[in-house]
Amino acid sequence: CHDSTSGHLGIVKTKDRLARYFYWPNCYKEIEEYVKTCDPCQRVGKSNEKTKAPLTLVPIISEVFSKINFDACGPLPTTPNGNRYLITAICLASKYPDAVPVPNIGSTSIIEAMIQIFSRMGFPKEMQTDQGTSFMSNLAIEFAEKFGIKVTRSSVHHPQSNPVERFHRTIKRILKVLCIEAAPEWERQIPAALFALRTIRHESTGFTPSELVYGRNLRTPVTLLYEQWMNPEDEGNNVVEYVFQLINRLKRCKELALDKMLEMQTKRKVWYDRKAIKREFSEGDLVLVVSTSKPNKLAVEWKGPGKIEKKLSETNYVVSFEGKKDHNQVYHVNMLKPYHKRAELVNLMITEDKSDIEDMDENFPAIDSEPTLFDFDEIKESSSLNDKLNEQQIQELHDLLLKFSKIFSNKPGKTRLVMHDIQLIENTPIQCKPYRISPRQTEILKTEIDKMLKHKIIELGDSDYTSPMILVEVAGKDPRPCIDYRKLNKITKTQFFPLPNIEQRVETVAAAKYISVLDLTKGYWQIPLTPNAQRIATFVTSFGTFRPLRMPFGLKNAPFTFSKMMADILHGCDHFAVPYLDDVAIYSNSWEEHLSHLNAIMSKIKDAGLTIKPIKCKFAQDRVKYLGHIVGRGIRTPNEVKVKAVLDFPVPTTKSQVRAFLGLAGYYNHYIPMFSSIVAPLTETLKGKLRQGKINWTEECTRAFKELKDKLSQQPILYAPDFNKEFILQTDASNSAMGVILAQKDDNDKEHPVLYLSKKFSETEKKYSTTERECAAIIFAVKKLQCYLDGLTKFLIMTDHNPLVWLKNNVSLNPRLMRWALALQPYNYTVVHRSGKNHKNVDALSRTPWLD
């Protein structure tokens, strides 16, 4: 069905060939495995099969001539002196090049060329070469050891790891041109080529190699022409002044070059990593190595299999081949792909009694039965339970989870509680054509469609409504099929169900001592669609039309349906369990309570017919990652992964990029004192009628951009509110903004922040008097924090002015003051005066230099 007589076709065509005549349980999975492990197919490979790994940045070398890269270029046309090769070298710090012609690339010739280069550059601390036999010879190794030079090797057939390879391309082009213009012997043109390269600015450093080595550029024909025309005056410095100026110039050039190299490295990595995918191999894995030389067009693309002997770094591996154990080589991960070995064992039973075989059926599970995914040892390791619980608690948790082992599955369940329907505001059918995608993407899409058909997530079918399916590919992640429902969503009637408040969820969970987080297996796929919704949500691909049987991602009202279902399931458990879409956080203050709460929630999930994915669940934790925060033990901090996205955000150049940055950073605004004041220069760039376009980026914007990143990089901490303790409200106002801190005291009478608030004054509010601005800050704080302060017996208002007394005495002056006074009437509070020197924390929230 696949081998020689069937042409070694791919998975989809092999499935099609067999499905016409045969079917057995798990046949698609077995066909995939058979084709995947075909040895000839793996060796021949595909043209688009080579995957590049993310770029690894090499350390920046700051000392000139401390590391030199060598290589051999050739063979070239034989010169009258008998030279056919060029030994090239380049300093990684200054990009200073050198080259020496040699007759051959034997060890002796290479050593002599190195000595010539070292006579001009000095002996380096480290040099890098490829794995050529001349550089790997005993003579070359002994030479390096004698002069204390550390030698590093580039991986095989991966020239990107050695910058001198790029130098080859440049110098060969220059030699070709010079040989046309002048004498044909390339050897005579080497000085001119090197002179040109040493006196031109290098894009990585921003300086010429000569400037970084000598402190000034060499005099070139252009310099001579300039001097002849302009006749510049000689500076006339004495020797001491010249030496000091030279030292300062070299130091300054070095600093600027290092900054430039770091900037260029970062830019190149961003560009290179756009389509890179991180891959890893372990020792003992079988791999195929890309074949770098093919004698003809029908030669195989890959050779092997080889075995991973050692992992040298994130990208380099030592690979051995059978029969060549003494010739292990280092290969870059870009040259490797996994080799899938086909099982060679065959089970054979010889018996005379038919009853022996019949009896065995009772001892073996059905071939299509799904093995349980409940593995408590894996759960114990992933949740680090040994560090958090004692042996008795671990055993109690094991017994509880074992009771619900059947709900642990990678296969989505199917709830009986709700069905998703789609109601339209107009009845004109939408017919979309399938998007055109590459053959590689088509194969991936077909594989994903087969999986969904197997699990009965979709079925073949036609409809008067069709939306196109696309394949979303993100670097570092598996390709993901998505359906483009944008046109359908425009004519879909909006359903309303209140989505949960994230801030409230985070604060509630953060206060607990024991936290478990359950993750539903592909949550949307556990909700069935009504027949009407199946018809309307039908999607089309280049190879067929399919009806979804479960709720797909991308539908307008899908989040509301899912949230309503979770609210119904967890009804009555809202004091110890909070859902947010397919995540359920269970929180408790004692171990006994936590076991009881877990039992209740998992019973409800089981009764609803849902399944959970064990690999994404965390049990009995004191701190967990939840909704972009790390919460537990009464405190919360931003998730370092989300913070890294803010810290790595490049300097915005358009309004869209500014909005994206403010959206990322704004999620953590409660952690950052004076957030509104800090981002004020950035929000100013968004003003104007046009939503798109370039922005006017000022020094204030740079300062705000950097300060916001600095604040988040300091790992700010907020404390979970305790409604049994007194709240302290601290307010202050400057000429341009107001600041608020909501705080509480712990058992040691130490004050801790619950959250920070700040707000820019409008142009009208800036005209208020000082006391009016202080009143405005209190009114803003009380209204904004009503969910904390409403219904309390008492809370404190701390301020360095006495605005409320002024408000009471002047309430009749205008309607605005009357509204403020009425807004404070429902609350029971005590005003505490705190002098300005003791009020610095909240005072800072309202003040920032470029706003005042």
Out of 150, 185, 200, a domain closes at: 200
Left (φ > 0), alpha (ψ -120 to 50) or beta: where does 139 sit?
alpha
Give every CB contact of residue 783 below 8 A, 6+ residues apart in sequence: 823
Q: Write out the residue range of the structural domain in which residue 655 sits.
A: 634-716
What's CA 626's distance to the chain center, in Å? 18
Judge whether residue 33 has pLDDT over 60. Answer: yes
Q: Residue 470 falls within a domain, yes or no?
A: yes
Q: Residue 221 falls within a domain, yes or no?
A: no
Instruction: Record the pTM.
Output: 0.49
Shared domain check, 418 and 539:
yes
pLDDT band at 381 (very low <50, low <70, confident <90, very high): confident
For residue 290, give the H/E element and its range.
strand 286-290
Summarize pLDDT for 104-117 with one digit per residue, the tens. Answer: 988 899 999 999 99
Shared domain check, 735 and 673:
no
| CA nearest neighbour of 96 among 190, 172, 200 | 200
Q: Residue 320 falls within a domain, yes or no?
A: yes
Tokens representing 463 are 């409809």
Tell me 725's DSSP state.
S
Shared domain check, 520 and 403:
yes
Q: Residue 618 falls within a domain, yes or no?
A: yes
Distance CA 11, CA 2 (A): 9
| CA nearest neighbour of 708 among 764, 745, 669 | 669
Give pLDDT, residue 243.
58
Three-class SS state of 250: helix
Out of 683, 700, 716, a domain closes at: 716
Give pLDDT, residue 640.
79
Distance CA 551, CA 558 (A): 7
Tokens representing 25 are 């349980």
Shared domain check, 645 and 623:
no
Summarize the confidence of residues 684-708 as an average pLDDT.
80
Summarize the confidence of residues 708-732 as an average pLDDT.
82
Give pLDDT, residue 348.
40
Shared domain check, 623 and 645:
no
CATH of the domain at 305: 2.30.30.140
Give pLDDT, residue 684.
83
Give pLDDT, residue 596.
92
Shared domain check, 751 and 623:
no
Shared domain check, 730 and 689:
no
CATH of the domain at 811: 3.30.420.10
Out of 592, 608, 633, a domain closes at: 633
Q: Residue 146 falls within a domain, yes or no?
A: yes
pLDDT band at 156 (very low <50, low <70, confident <90, very high): low
Judge whether residue 616 has pLDDT over 80. Answer: yes
Q: Residue 240 falls within a domain, yes or no?
A: no
CATH of the domain at 674: 3.30.70.270
Taking a C-beta distance cutoff of 8 angstroms, is the pair 467, 540 a contact? yes
Tell me 614's DSSP state.
G
Q: Residue 381 falls within a domain, yes or no?
A: yes
Q: Residue 243 falls within a domain, yes or no?
A: no
| CA nearest neighbour of 86 among 193, 208, 220 | 193
Give pLDDT, residue 609.
92
Shared domain check, 674 and 626:
no
Shared domain check, 153 and 33:
no
Judge whether residue 227 has pLDDT over 80. Answer: no
Summarize the confidence of residues 116-126 as an average pLDDT.
90
Distance CA 240, CA 244 (A): 6
Q: Write down the mean pLDDT value for the chain.
A: 79
Shared domain check, 726 and 692:
no
Distance CA 406, CA 413 (A): 11
Shared domain check, 741 and 649:
no
486 phi, psi to nearest 5 deg: -60, -45
Summarize pLDDT for 301-329 with one digit per residue, the tens. Answer: 778 788 888 888 878 888 888 766 556 78
Judge whether residue 536 has pLDDT over 90. Answer: yes
Give pLDDT, residue 24.
76
Count of domains in the chain? 6
Summarize pLDDT for 449-498 with one digit per residue, the tens. Answer: 998 898 889 999 888 899 998 888 766 667 788 889 989 999 999 887 77
Summarize pLDDT for 238-251 with one digit per residue, the tens. Answer: 555 655 566 666 66
Q: Which residues of 640-666 are buried (b: 16+ CB within 10 A; e: fewer)?
A: eebbeebeebeebeebeebbebbebbb
Give the residues across from 129 on adjacent strands: 153
Shared domain check, 537 and 507:
yes
Query: Percentage of residues in the chain with pLDDT exceeding 70?
Result: 79
The 3-class secondary structure across 1-25, one letter per residue, is CCCHHHCCCCHHHHHHHHHCCCCCC
What are the C-alpha distances in Å from 767 to residues 240, 781, 806? 62, 20, 18
